Chain A
Amino acid sequence: MKTLVVAVLGLLGILVIGLIVTGVAPATGFKLLLEGAFSDQFAVSQSLVRATPLLLAGLGVTVAWKAGVFNIGGEGQLLIGAVFGASTAQLLFKLGIPLVGTVLVLVSSVLGGAIWAGVAAWLSIKRGVNLVISTILLNFIGLQLLLFGVDGPLRRKGQSAPMTEQLPDSWMLWKPSRQTDLHVGVLLAILVAVAIGVFLFRTRSGYLVRATGANPRFVRANRINPSAIQLRVMLLSGGLCGLAGGIQFLGINGQLTPSFSQQYGFLAIPVALVGGLHPLGVTVSSFFFGALFAGTSNLSRFGGSGSYFVYIVQGLAVFGLLGYRFVKDRQVEFAQ
């Protein structure tokens, strides 16, 4: 309870600081942010839709970090997931199987993300390559593969601009209303969050993931191989990030372009940290940052300065969190 109050007050304080830093009067800024995030159907749908990839990739980061695997490669895994999805869509499009096709596209984006994460995991376990560094670098390779794809094999026929075929609505995720961007992927992401919560806290495998994160040598001394757990959790993490890419592809764009990357895979890291690496917390924090995203685009329309706002607030939030942890850990240390 106390932590929650500290967190809410802290985030409000950080918002104020963020507004001052970007040169907007806090009262006006708050009004614009809130309007952009909640004022009408469109605003709310924007908040939810922005939160969806953050939630899925944030869950991906969470499971990996819970096992002590610092996957920084969410962005690359998300992009490769989208590339796999788009490739599958291109292959299957002629078959004319909309609903099955949608599922297959999502499955292949999960696979794509998992394979991309698997590369880093394999390098780490078999070759001792530092996973933080390999996942960071694989982000860049992933982005370049996306650019190569949309400008090469996946490019729309008869087009010189780098973009893939636009999928028809029948292949896309179901939308309750044509007026807004809201799609069924939001619900799917929340269900995934519940599933990850159950997995981590109600199953033996989830327990072993947490134990490995707490102390891999403890797991080893109990005759269980922590590397195998970390490998599997990395595949799961990559799969979730890939799914974020697939859902973004089928929910919003229906098409890949060079600007498909919105940095959701990077933002997922602060989302997961602010969410306390807990599925429930990550859900809350992803919706907070989703709303902030939506509010920020409003702010930049009227306030003149704000499109970087989200990133500044995220950065400050992570600093605040780390500072709070540091102080708390020191208190614990001395209490012993």
Chain B
Amino acid sequence: MTEQVLSVEGITVSFGPLKALDDVTLEFLSGEVHAVVGENGAGKSTLMNVLAGFLSPSSGFVRLGDRTLLNNSVDHRKWGIEMVHQHFRLVPAFSVKENLRLGLMRAERTFEDVQKVATELDWDIPFDSLVSDLGVGQKQRVEILKALASSPKVVIFDEPTAVLNEDEVSGLLRSMREFAQNSLVVIVIAHKLAEVFSVADRISVLKDGTLRGSFRTQDVSPREISELMVGPQDSFPEPVQFDNSSKFFCKNLSVDGNCPIVDLNFDVGFGEVLGIGGVDGNGQVELAEALAQVRPSEGEITTVATIGYVPQDRQLDGLALSMSINENIEIAEVSLTGSAAIKEYEIKARSASAPLTSLSGGNQQKVVLARELAKRPELLVAVNPTRGLDVRASAFVLSQIRKSAEQGAAVVLISTDRDELAAVANRTLYLSRGRLLNSAQEAISA
């Protein structure tokens, strides 16, 4: 039984001259999973923030049933709108139980109720472990339990699959369906259309702050949705051919870290893209930092004149967010200027002296890439370079990485995204507990 529960009417949100949302009217029905898709900067996050009451619209209303909400998060939560944030809001030094109790303080539920919810969902949660010891997927489940604890009517998921591996993704999508069957309104922001089509009953497309359409999933094809989001798509060209005669070698490489690497051996041709797959936390960071010579290592590595390094977390390692585009390039001592980078990489920014905080995630990543490729690196190490980016930005980043290989760089692309590896890598190895394996199956069973 579906009924209209939540609606937004004529929502406009302006930041100065920029309209992040322009007269958006949309209904959300109970018992449905409603996906909101769009490019980075299309207004998805703004819409979610309005729904959750974190942001007051310049005009328009949010209604829950026949009640008009007050546009503050306390009121929205009181009437049953909960949000599962992309960046978890958990205290790492507290146990799962303590985190849940913290979340329960304003709800009229007990910890036992939450435990029951977990049992019903068949989730095996180590309630007494510290949150810092949990994997990403489990942390997210804790976050979801926190949201469910106050028996909400609406649960909003902000790009929930960005941090998960494939098994965790399918588990999450299953859970979302269950929530909808229990007549919740489930709203999800997503990038990957395959996931959207496997979970959503209804898909709404935002572009440049306006609603481009809202469809029942069975009435529409992925191609149509993707064209509404970004316009017609190019497919990836074939992987490049490369000269096999000279290679970048890595012999008996050992690196200390959370997941130590012992005696790793591999080579990459100059001009080749070597993909390294596997689930997060199996030595990816250790390997990348050792190759980028940011972390000390033992063993024999081919000496190269310049190394390009696209770290896994652009905000943590790749950029100084409070500094300008110019200043974020300056560190590499390359001839590239900020304004040249803006032009060449189509970075959306006010100017080269705009701080990185004013850029969207995709544009931030373009700054990292512009800087690292301006070095004309002989070795390029990139870790999950498209994480959190939309379709078009991802394609651009990957094509630049390929271009670097075409210009003769040995490229090591470390990624948890199999499609990405398949599209770009000439060959793929898999990391599992600090060892390199030849196939994903081996990596999973190891």
**CB–CB B293/A218 < 8 A:** no
**CB–CB A217/B323 < 8 A:** no
Interface-facing stretch out of A113-121, A136-144, A206-214, A286-294: A206-214
CB contact under 8 A between A221 and B320, given known A207-B330, A332-B357: no
A-B pair number, CB within 8 angstroms: 53
Interface residue? B158 (CB, 8 A): no
CB contact under 8 A between A223 and B293, given known A211-B327, A211-B331, A334-B55: yes
Closest to B355 in A: A332
**CB–CB A221/B327 < 8 A:** no
CB contact under 8 A between A218 and B330, given known A211-B323, A223-B293: no
Closest to B333 in A: A204
**CB–CB B331/A210 < 8 A:** no
Interface residue? B125 (CB, 8 A): no
CB contact under 8 A between A222 and B332, given known A211-B320, A334-B55, A335-B15: yes
Interface residue? B316 (CB, 8 A): yes
Interface residue? A336 (CB, 8 A): yes
Dominant secondary structure at the A interface: helix
Per-position contact with A for B288-321: 1 when CB-CB < 8 Å, else 0? 0000111000000000000101010000111111
Query: Shortest beta-carbon distance, A233 to chain B, in Å?
Result: 16
CB contact under 8 A between A214 and B322, given known A219-B331, A336-B357: yes
Interface residue? B242 (CB, 8 A): no
Per-position contact with A for B372-398: 1 when CB-CB < 8 Å, else 0? 000000000000000000000000000
Interface residue? A215 (CB, 8 A): yes
CB contact under 8 A between A221 and B323, given known A332-B357, A335-B15: no
Q: Tell me the complex Cα distance, A238–B256, Å.
A: 36
**CB–CB A221/B318 < 8 A:** yes
Which residue from A210, A211, A220, A224 sits with its C-beta under 8 Å from B317?
Answer: A220
| A interface, size bucket | 10 to 19
Task: List residues 268-294 of chain B with CB under 8 A from any CB of chain A.
Answer: 292-294
Collect the chain A residues with CB atoms within 8 Å of residue B55's CB.
Answer: 334
Per-position contact with B for A304-336: 1 when CB-CB < 8 Å, else 0? 000000000000000000000000000010111
**CB–CB A215/B357 < 8 A:** no
**CB–CB A223/B322 < 8 A:** no
Q: Tell me the complex Cα distance, A215–B49, Å.
A: 28
For A211, A214, A221, A223, which residue has the most chain B Cβ atoms within 10 angstroms? A221
Collect the chain A residues with CB atoms within 8 Å of residue B54's CB.
Answer: 334
Collect the chain B residues with CB atoms within 8 Å of residue A224's CB.
Answer: 331
Query: Shortest beta-carbon distance, A211 to chain B, in Å?
Result: 5
Q: Tell me the complex Cα distance, A207–B320, Å.
A: 12
Q: Tell me the complex Cα distance, A224–B358, Å.
A: 26
Query: Shortest beta-carbon distance, A66 to chain B, in Å?
Result: 11
**CB–CB B316/A217 < 8 A:** yes
Q: Tell me the complex Cα distance, A332–B359, Å.
A: 12
Per-position contact with A for B27-59: 1 when CB-CB < 8 Å, else 0? 000000000000000000100010000110000
Collect the chain B residues with CB atoms within 8 Å of residue A221's CB.
Answer: 292, 294, 309, 311, 317-318
Sampled A-B contacts (9; CB under 8 Å): A207-B327, A210-B323, A211-B320, A215-B322, A217-B317, A218-B320, A218-B331, A221-B311, A222-B309
